[in-house]
A and B are shown apart, each in its own frame.
Chain A
Amino acid sequence: MKPGKVVSSSALRSSLLRGVTRALPIVMGYVPIGFAYGVLATQAGLSVFNTVAMSVVVYAGSAQLIGAGLFATGTPALSIVATTFVVNLRHLLFSAALSPHLKGWRAGELAIFAYELTDETFAVHSVRFPTGLPSKAEIFALNATAQLSWLIGGWFGAVVGGLIADVRPLALDYTLPAMFIALLVIQIRARLEIVIAALTGLLAVLLTLLGVGRWSVILATVAGATLGVLLEQLTGGRLEEVA
C-alpha cells in the first residue's frame, strides 16, 4: 500500500469517528425516546416489523409518536398522512436553511442527506456548517449514527414493550430540551438574534395557547425570521456581535 493511501484512509477513519462522536448527544436523547416510541407503537397494535419500519420509512420522532397514537385510535389513513405532513412541514425550513452550505453536492448525496434531516441533526449541522463545512464522511457518519440509535431504541422498545422502564429518574426525557437550549445559545452570534429568539419563542407559546397546534412552530419561525430581516434592514446590520 502506498503511504498516501494510508494517510487518506486514516483521515477517513478520523472523519467517521468525529461524526460518530458528534452524534453522541443526539444518541443520548434518541435511545430513550426511541424506546418510548417502540413501547407506544406496539401498544397501539403495530407489529414489531411495522414499528421498526416507521423508523426507517418516516424517521421523524414527534410524528412517529403522534402517528402511533392515531393508529391506536383507529384514525383513517388519510387523516394520519395529512397530520404527518403538517407535523413534518418544518423540515422544509431546515432543508432551505442548510442549502446555501451544500453547493456542489450531487443530487444523490443531497437525497441521502435530506432523508436523515431531523430537528436534532439540523440543529447540530446549522451550528457547525457556517464555521466551515465538515467532510462528507463526517456529516454522513453523524446522521447515520443518529438514525441507528433511533432504530435500536425503537426496536428495543417494541420487543420489551411489556416491561416499561421508567426513564424519568435518570432525566433522559430532558436530554433533548437541554440539547436545544445549548444549540440555541451556541447558535447566537449577534444581539439581534437574541431578540428574534425571544420573540419567536413567545410567539410559539402564544400560538400554542391559542390552539394553533402543529402549525405554531412553522408560523412562529416564518414570522420570527421575517422580523429578523426587517430589523436588520432598519438597523443597518445584525447589531454588535456578542460572541
Chain B
Amino acid sequence: MIDQRAVFLTLVAMGVVTYLPRVLPLWLFASRSLPPVVVAWLRYVPVAVLAAMLLPSLVLPEGHLDFGWHNLYLWAAIPTFIVAWRTRSLFGAVVTGMALVAGARWLFGIP
C-alpha cells in the first residue's frame, strides 16, 4: 500500500520540474529580440522535434526495428502522409490513418 500523501508531494515536485522548462524560455525570450541566427534555429525546432517524436514511434513501436507487414503504425503512415500532403487537412489525415489501422486490424485480425 503506498502512502498517498508521499505520492502527492512527489507529484508536486514532478509538476515543478515540468513547469520550469515550459515557462522560463517564454518569460526570458518573448519580451526581447533574439539574434537572427537564434530565430533561424528556433524556426527549425518544430519540424525537427515532430520528426524526432514521430519516426521512432513508426519504425520501432515496440522498442526494436520492425518493418514487418503487421506493423500497421508504419504502413498506415504512408497513405496518411499522402493525404496530409495533398489536402493539408489535419482532420482528413487523422481520420485516414485511424480508418486504415482500424480496418486492417478488423480485416486481418491483427491484435
Q: Does A169 interact with chain B (Cβ within 8 Å)?
A: yes
Q: Are A221 and B52 in contact (CB under 8 A)?
A: yes
- Choice from A98, A201, A226 contacting B54 with Cβ under 8 Å: A201
Knowing A57-B14, A97-B45, A100-B29, the reply to whether A204 touches B4 (Cβ < 8 A) is no
Within 8 A of B (CB), among A60-98: 60, 63, 67, 71, 74, 77, 80-81, 84-85, 88-98
Interface size on B, residues (CB 8 A): 77
Q: Are B11 and A54 in contact (CB under 8 A)?
A: yes
A189-B22 Cα distance, complex, nearest whole Å: 26
- Choice from A54, A115, A175, A216 contacting B23 with Cβ under 8 Å: A115
Q: Does A164 interact with chain B (Cβ within 8 Å)?
A: no
Q: Does A172 interact with chain B (Cβ within 8 Å)?
A: yes
Q: Are A184 and B50 in contact (CB under 8 A)?
A: yes
Dominant secondary structure of chain A at its interface with chain B? helix
Q: Shortest distance in angstroms between A212's beta carbon and chain B's nearest beta carbon? A: 11
The residue in chain B whose Cβ has the minimal distance to the Cβ of A113 is B26
> Which of B6, B10, B91 has the largest number of chain A CB atoms within 10 A?
B10
Q: Are B13 and A171 in contact (CB under 8 A)?
A: no
Chain B residue numbers with a CB within 8 Å of A148 are: none
Q: Does A193 interact with chain B (Cβ within 8 Å)?
A: yes
Q: Shortest distance in angstroms between A241's beta carbon and chain B's nearest beta carbon? A: 14
- Choice from A60, A85, A93 contacting B49 with Cβ under 8 Å: A93
Q: Mark B67-111, 1 if CB is under 8 A from A, else 0.
A: 000001100110011001100111101101111111001100001
- Choice from A67, A110, A178, A183 contacting B30 with Cβ under 8 Å: A110
Knowing A81-B13, A200-B52, A202-B55, the reply to whether A184 touches B93 (Cβ < 8 A) is no
Binding site for A on B (CB under 8 A): 1-2, 4, 6-15, 17-19, 21-31, 34, 37, 39-60, 63, 65, 72-73, 76-77, 80-81, 84-85, 88-91, 93-94, 96-102, 105-106, 111
Can you identify 28 A-B contacts, CB atoms within 8 angstroms? A24-B91, A46-B4, A50-B8, A54-B11, A57-B11, A63-B18, A91-B21, A95-B25, A96-B42, A97-B46, A99-B28, A104-B30, A122-B46, A168-B111, A171-B105, A172-B98, A174-B97, A174-B102, A178-B98, A181-B84, A181-B93, A182-B89, A182-B94, A186-B84, A200-B49, A205-B59, A209-B65, A221-B52
* Given A100-B39, A204-B53, 11 other A-B residues pairs in contact with their CB atoms under 8 A: A88-B17, A90-B49, A94-B49, A100-B30, A105-B30, A107-B27, A110-B30, A182-B90, A196-B47, A201-B51, A225-B41
